[in-house]
Structure 1
Amino acid sequence: MKILIVIPALGSVYGGPSKSVVELAQALGTFGLSVDLVTTNANGSTSIDLPLYVWLSKKFYRIQYFPYWALSDYKISFSLTIWLFQHVADYDLVHTNAIFSYPILAAYWACQQQRVPYVVTPRGMLEPWALSYKPGKKRLYYTLFEKLALQRASAIQMLASTEAEGTKSLNIKTPLIIVPNGINYQEFENIPNTELFYQQFPCTRNKTLILFLGRIDPKKGLDLLATAFAKAHKEFPEIHLVIAGPDNIGFLATVQNYFMTAGCSDAITFTGMLTGAMKYAALAAANIYVAPSYSEGFSMSVLEGMAAGLPCVITTGCNFPEAAAAGVASVVDINSDQIANALIEFLKQPLQAKDMGDRARQFILENYTWDSVALKLISVYQDIIIKRHQNPVSLELGG
C-alpha cells in the first residue's frame, strides 16, 4: 500500500501538528506501508535548511521539501502543486493534514483530477473557536474551496469525539472517523535528569513547577492561565510557572502583559521552545501540567504531560473527555476560576495528585501509542481502497 501524506509545513515552530505527522508517517512505515511525505520548507519567519526537490530517506518513510512563497501566513508553492498533479496517481491514497491552506487545496485538486482517494485531517481547524478566529477570511475560503473538497473526501479524520461533535453544524456528509494522536512510548521510558533543566533555568530550582508546553498563541488560553496562576500563587507562593513554547506570531509581549497585569510575572519563566532532552527534562522537573486552551484538535503536549506521569489540569477545549471519564486528569470548563481551583486542589493534595499522574501515565501508554493509531488508520485506508476498486466512479461523484 502506497500512501502520500501532505502537510503545508513541518517546521519545528509549528509544534504538535508537525511532530504528530512525522511520527504518524514513521508508525505507518513500521507496519510495512510505503509512505512518502511532501511539504514546504516553511519554518515560521525562516526556512528549513534542507535540500529541495529530492527524496530524503528516513528509517520508515521518505520526505521531500518544496520552496514556498509567503503571503501573510498563507504558503504558496507552485513547484509542490506541479509535483502533486504529476505524482498523486502513483499512490493508493493521499492523506492531507490541515485545512485553509494552499498546498492542501492543490492536493485536493490533484486527487480529484487523478481519481485518487484522499483522507482529510483538519487538526482542530474546524473547531467552533478556530472558525471564529479571523472568521471573515475563513468563511469565504470555506465557501469557495474547502466545503466541496471536504465533501469529496473519502473520510475526515477527527482526533477526538468532541471534535467530531463540533463539526455537526457544518452539515458535512463525508464519513467521520475518530482516530487520535499518539506518543512513542520509548521516549518516556528513561526521561532525562531534572538537573539539565535546572542548570539552564536556575530560577526554577527548589520551586513547585507548573508546566505549560505549547505555542504562544491566542487559542492556548494564556490569558486565562495568568488569572488562574495568580490566584494559586497567592495561596502557594512557592509555585513557579514555566511557559515553554515558540512565539510564531509575535504574541509573546501580549502574554507577558497578562501576567504583569495579574501581578505574578516574577513567578514566570518563558523558556522559548524546548526540544529533545531539554523538553523531557522539563517534564521531569515539573510537578503539575496545565493546558488552558480554548480549542485543540487533540493536544500532543497533553499526551506528553500525562505520559510523563504528571497530574494534568486541562480544559474541555483540549478535546479529551476520555481522560475525565477515566479519572486520569482534572478536566475543567474554559474558565480561569475553574483552572485555578483545580491547580489549588492538586497543590493541597500532592499525594493524590501524584497518584493521578501515575494513573494518567498508564492510561496513555495503554491506549494512545502510535502503534495503535497506525493500525486504526491502516484499517481505514484498506476499506477506502477496496471501495475504490469496487466502485471507481464514486470518486468522481464525491461518494
Structure 2
Amino acid sequence: MSGKLHVGQFITQYPYKDQFTGGNEYFCSGAERVAKRLSDELAKMGCEVTVCSSSATSEYVVEDQGEVTVERSPSLTKVNTTQISPTQVLDPISKGLEFDLVHAHNSTPPGVIAGWLYAKWNDVPLIITHHGGENYEQHGSIFRQVGLFAYTRFIINPLFRSADAAVSPTSGYIKESSALSSVETARVIPNGVEVDEFDPGISSDEAKQQIGIEPDSFLVMYLGSLHQRKGADVLLEGFLQFHEEYPDTRLIIGGNGGLKEQLKSTVAENTMSDIVSIPGFIPESQKPTYMAAADAFVLPSVTPGSEVFPLVLLEAAAAETPIIASQFDTIESVVGEHEIGIFVEPGSADSITSKLQYLYNNESERRELAENAFSMAKARKWSTIAEQYLELYEEVLE
C-alpha cells in the first residue's frame, strides 16, 4: 500500500450536513453519529475517508462533507425509519471505488452487508463495529419484521465470523451479544464526546431559566427516542410518584417517537402540564443548555441489548450531570465502572421513584457523581477514539 490509507466506511444511513437541526425526516441516531464523528476525525488524521450509505432520495448522490466523501445510493422506499436502498450492496463495486480497508457499522442492514460484500469481492480487510440491533423485536410493518427476523436469525452471526476484527463500544455488550461471542476476539473501543461542546457558558440556574424552568426546581431530564424499549413511560410513572412527595421537582422528556402522544395524554390526565414538559425533538445546538439545567439524567431502558453505549450518557457526563440508568451489562460497564451514576431495575417505576428520592436528598452524592462523570468524559475525546481505531486498522493490515 502506498500513499495515505483509504478507509471505506459502510453504514445504512449517514448524517447529512444539517441532520440534527430538526425537521429532517432522514433518520439518524447514535450509530450514525458515531460513524460521522469517527470519519471526520480519521480524515483530520490524514486518512482518505469515503462513506457508502443511502440517499434520502431516488438519486445517486456524491456529497463532500469537509474532507470526507459520502457516496449515497438511491433509496426506493422507507420502512419505518430505515431507507431501503437495494443497490447499496452493489454500487461501491460497480462504481469501482477502491479502499484499503472496509469499516462497516452494524446498526440496521443493508449497510453492513454492503461492506462485507465489498471486502470479500475486493479481498480487503473487514472490521465491523457492533452498535446493537441483533435482538429481533416484533413490531412495525410486515416487511420490517420479515427482514429483521432473517437478518438476526440467519445472517448476523456468520457475518461477524467472517470479519477480520470486531469492535464493541462496551465490554458489557460482548457478554450480551451472540454475534460478538461468535468471533475469536472482540476489541472494546468506546464512543466519544467533546466536553467543550457541552459547556453552554452559563450556570445551571441560568440554563433552567432559558428553557422555562424555575431556578430552584429539581429538574429530571430524559433526551432520546420515544419508543417502548426506551422506557420513557416508566420514567413518567416513577416521576409522578416522586413529585407527590417533592413538589419542587420538574421533568422534561425530549424526543420523538411512537410513545409521544401517549405520554402527553398521561400528563394531561394528571393535569401536570406545568410540571412535565414534552417538547419533542431537541436540536443538537440546544442539548448543552438542557443538560446543564438538569439535576439528574435518567436513561430508563426496559429491553436488554437495546442500549450498547448510548451517546447521551457521555453527553450527560460532559455536562457534569448525575445519571440514573437501567441495570444492564452494557450500561453497567459504562456507568458503574466509572461511578458516574446509580442504577434502577429495568421496567420498574417504583425503582425510579426510589432513586430519584435518593439523589434529591443527597447533594454530596450528586456532586461526586458529577465530578466522576466529567473526568470520564474528558478521557473520551473523539481524537483519542479515532487513534484507537487507526491502531486497529494498522494491526489488521499487517
Q: TM-score, normalised by structure 2?
A: 0.83
What is the CA–CA distance in structure 1 between the aligned matches of 2:287 and 2:193, rounded to whole Å?
A: 14
Q: Which residue in the other structure is 2:123 paired with?
A: 115
Q: Distance in 2 between matches of 1:336 and 1:314?
A: 12
What is the aligned-residue RMSD (CA, Å)?
A: 2.9
Give the Cα separation in 2 of the matches to 1:186 and 1:203.
24
Partner residue of 1:77? 85
Q: List per-residue Cα deviations over 1:354-379 (Å, max 9, x = no partner).
A: 2321221112212x221221111111
Shift of 1:290: 0.9
Distance 1:170 1:136 in 2: 23
Answer yes or no: is the 8 Å Cα contact 1:67–1:79 preserved in 2: yes
Give the distance between the partners of 1:304 and 1:88, measured in 2 at CA: 39
1:178 aligns with 2:192: no
> How far has the Cα of 1:91 moved from its partner?
0.8
Contact 1:292 1:315 in 2 (8 A): yes
- The worse-fitting range, judged by mean Cα deviation, of 233-242 and 311-320 is 311-320
1:363 maps to which residue? 376
Give 5+ residue unaligned stretches, structure 2: 21-26, 140-144
- Selected match of 2:36 from 22, 25, 39: 22
The Cα offsets for residues 193-230 of structure 1, whole Å up to 9 and x where unpaired, read as: 76886577435665321110111112211132122212
Structure 1 residue 338 corresponds to structure 2 residue 351? yes
Secondary structure of the equivalent of 1:4? strand
8 A Cα contact 1:6 1:96, kept in partner:
yes
- Return the offset for 1:331: 2.7
Partner of 2:309: 298
Are residue 311 (structure 1) and residue 322 (structure 2) matched?
Answer: yes
CA distance in 1, matches of 2:281, 2:241: 26
Shift in alpha-carbon separation, 1:86–1:196, aligned structure 2, 3 A: farther
Q: 1:242, CA displacement in angstroms?
A: 0.7
Q: 1:383 to 1:296 in 2, by over 3 A?
A: same
Deviation at 1:243, TM superposition (A): 1.1
Distance in 2 (alpha carbons) for counterparts of 1:71 and 1:282: 32
Question: Does the 8 Å contact 2:31/2:107 carry over to 1?
Answer: no
Compared CA separation, residues 213 and 191, structure 1 to 2 (3 A): farther
What is the rounded CA distance, in whole Å, between the counterparts of 1:194 and 1:350 in structure 2?
15
1:138 aligns with 148
* Counterpart secondary structure, 1:360: helix
Point out the more displaced range, 302-311 or 10-19: 10-19
What do the CA deviations read for 1:77-130 (whole angstroms, capped 9, x no partner)?
Answer: 24533421135761111111224412332332222222222212231213xxx3
Counterpart Cα distance in 2 of 1:234 and 1:207: 14
Asked if the contact 2:174–2:181 (Cα under 8 Å) also holds between the matched residues in 1, the reply is no
**Is the 2:199–2:288 contact (alpha carbons within 8 Å) kept by the matching residues of 1?**
no
Paired position in structure 2 for 1:64 = 71
Letter in 2 for 1:362: S
1:374 equivalent in alignment to 2:386: yes
Specify the alignment match of 1:390 in structure 2: none
Give the structure with the larger helix fraction.
1
The correspondence for 1:384, drawn from 365, 372, 396, is: 396
**Matching residue of 1:225:** 235
User: C-alpha displacement at 1:171, in angstroms?
Assistant: 5.1
Decide whether the 8 Å contact of 2:325 with 2:331 is kept in 1: no
Contact 1:97-1:104 at 8 Å conserved across structures: yes
Question: Which residue of 1 is the match for residue 24 of structure 2?
Answer: none
Query: Residue 7 of structure 2: which of 3, 8, 24 is its match?
Result: 3
Does the Cα contact within 8 Å between 1:303 and 1:364 map onto a contact in 2?
A: yes
The residue number in structure 2 matching 1:35 is 49
2: CA distance between counterparts of 1:192 and 1:5? 37
- Structure 1 residues 124, 146: CA separation in 2 closer, same or farther (over 3 Å shift)? closer
Distance 2:208 2:392 in 1: 45
TM-score w.r.t. the length of structure 1 is 0.83
Gaps spanning 5+ residues in structure 1: where? 387-399
Give the 3 Å change call, closer, same or farther, for CA 115–204 of structure 1 in structure 2.
farther
